[in-house]
Amino acid sequence: MIWLVFALLSVVGLLFMGLPLRHRSSRTPVPADATDAVLMDQLDEVRRDLERGVISDTEATAAEQEIKRRILVQSRRSVLSDGKPAAGGRLMVVLSAVFVPVFAFGYYSAMGSPEIPGVAFAERATERQEAAEIAELTDRLYVRLSSDPEGGPSEGWMLLGQTYSKMGRYADAADAYRVVAQRPEADSAVFSMLAEVLIYAEQGVVTPEADTAIDRAYELDPSNPGAAFFKAVSLEQKGDEARAHETLVARLDDADRFFPWMESFVGEANRIGAKIGKAPISLADYAPKTSASGPTQEDIENAQDMSVEERQDFIRSMVERLATRLEDEPDDLDGWMRLGNAYSVLGDTAPAIAAFEHAEILLSEVPGDDPRRQAVQSALERLRP
């Protein structure tokens, strides 16, 4: 049906362009002979007036030039009023009438398709409404925080900064993070997030303020992945690619298990390493040491070529292996904590809670200042409804 409509529209367009070409010009021919005779009489009249001294030589010359100009114009009109349009102009119109529809059809056949689904106007309206609501709520939060006599809670400013960052308003996000960065409780994460939006606001350029925030984040917690990553970015822009590569690799070496940020670290390290002649590294080089029931080095290397679905299945198989091993080694406190973290990442809340509860039982036999107590307690508070 759509092609039939297109064909009809093309035919109508061709008719509008082609029909006028079948008719000769409808302009009425000007009687050239009569007009020329009148102009010649006027020219003779000017000469007689000059001879009688009625007009001066200058006036006679100007009048003769005007009459001759009219004679020339009239002669051109006579040529164009014979009812025959110019051949070149007619040819261009015919070519345009044929070429334009053919070109449009060919282009649409290659680049377009009526089967491509469109986005409903109602859906776009809903998206715009949601964006407007988020912007309004964000503005309300800013007003509330900025009007607070006590400066507003740090959690609120951090939430505001994260929201601005997701909206692409990096300068506003930086302003929000600066408020918290000036407070005593500001930790490494605050400064690394401030550095991130400052860099994004400048299209990837590390400004002096961003560099200061990076150094502060790295100073407070060298293990902070964000601090290490942006430290490497800063070093590379300063021309110290060797230290940038070393910073990334050192943080990878310190990891005791897999983290989502490790893949980006490996990619960045290989990009910088290629510039300075360093051998490429692989994510499999930083595989955690596991028991025989866990994944082998070959398994991890093969996982790099998997699709997202295959990799998800592979991760679940690793988790199942760990769960099976813990059935035989129920006193492995760190193993139960790793299992709980793994289930939590996969979104399996109930098994994650069960694993952390088992770890909580084992923690009753460790000293009270063991940091794993707080880690397990925090995980259970986050997971439990």
Say if CB 332 and CB 355 are below 8 A apart: no
Q: What percent of the chain has pLDDT over 90?
A: 29
Beta-carbon count within 10 A of 27 CB: 11
Q: Using the 3D structure, point to which of 286, 316, 351 is the last residue of a domain.
A: 286
Kindly report whether the global pTM for this prediction surpasses the value 0.75.
no
Q: Using the 3D structure, point to which of 286, 319, 340 is the last residue of a domain.
A: 286
302 in the same domain as 273: no
Residue 301 has pLDDT above 70, yes or no: no
Residue 294 has pLDDT above 50, yes or no: no
Most confident range, picked from 53-67, 176-190, 335-349: 176-190
Q: What is the mean pLDDT of residues 147-170?
A: 92
197 compared with 222, residue with greater pLDDT: 197
Q: Using the 3D structure, point to which of 225, 252, 286 is the last residue of a domain.
A: 286
222 in the same domain as 249: yes
Q: What tokens does 338 get?
A: 């790793």
Q: Smallest Cα–Cα separation from 322: which of 337, 301, 307, 304?
A: 337
Q: Is position 126 within any domain?
A: no
pLDDT in the model for residue 132: 83
356 in the same domain as 319: yes
Predicted confidence band of residue 12 (pLDDT cuts 50, 70, 90): low
Q: What is the mean pLDDT of residues 103-109?
A: 62
142 in the same domain as 261: yes
Residue 306 has pLDDT above 90, yes or no: no
Residue 299 has pLDDT above 80, yes or no: no
307 compared with 224, residue with greater pLDDT: 224
Q: What is the mean pLDDT of residues 280-286?
A: 78
Predicted confidence band of residue 292 (pLDDT cuts 50, 70, 90): very low
352 in the same domain as 208: no
Rounded CA gap, 331 and 315, in Å?
A: 23
310 in the same domain as 280: no
Q: Is position 71 within any domain?
A: yes
16 compared with 184, residue with greater pLDDT: 184
Residue 234 has pLDDT above 90, yes or no: yes
Q: What is the mean pLDDT of residues 172-198?
A: 94
pLDDT in the model for residue 116: 55
Half-sphere exposure of 343 (CA within 13 A, CB side): 21
Cα-Cα-Cα-Cα dihedral sign, residues 262, 268, 274, 278? negative
274 in the same domain as 142: yes
> Which of 44-48, 76-80, 85-89, 164-168 is least confident?
85-89
Say if CB 193 and CB 226 are below 8 A apart: yes
Q: What is the mean pLDDT of residues 106-117?
A: 58
273 in the same domain as 332: no
Residue showing tokens 């904590």: 337
Say if CB 286 and CB 262 are below 8 A apart: yes
142 in the same domain as 279: yes
| Residue 352 neighbours by CB under 8 Å, 6+ apart | 340, 341, 342, 343, 344, 379, 383
Q: What is the mean pLDDT of residues 353-376?
A: 83
Predicted confidence band of residue 1 (pLDDT cuts 50, 70, 90): low
Residue 195 has pLDDT above 80, yes or no: yes
pLDDT digit string, tens, across residues 331-350: 888 888 888 888 887 788 88
Cα-Cα-Cα-Cα dihedral sign, residues 163, 384, 371, 356? negative
Domain ranges, residue 371: 297-383
Say if CB 179 and CB 152 are below 8 A apart: yes
351 in the same domain as 277: no
166 in the same domain as 302: no
pLDDT in the model for residue 130: 79
251 in the same domain as 140: yes
Residues counted in the chain: 385
User: What is the tally of structural domains in the chain?
Assistant: 3
Average pLDDT, the chain: 78
Helices (H), 202-240: 208-220, 225-237
Most confident range, picked from 3-7, 87-91, 98-102, 245-249: 245-249
Say if CB 186 and CB 163 are below 8 A apart: no
pLDDT in the model for residue 104: 65
92 compared with 213, residue with greater pLDDT: 213
Residue 310 has pLDDT above 60, yes or no: yes
Residue 358 has pLDDT above 80, yes or no: yes
Residue showing tokens 């997202």: 308
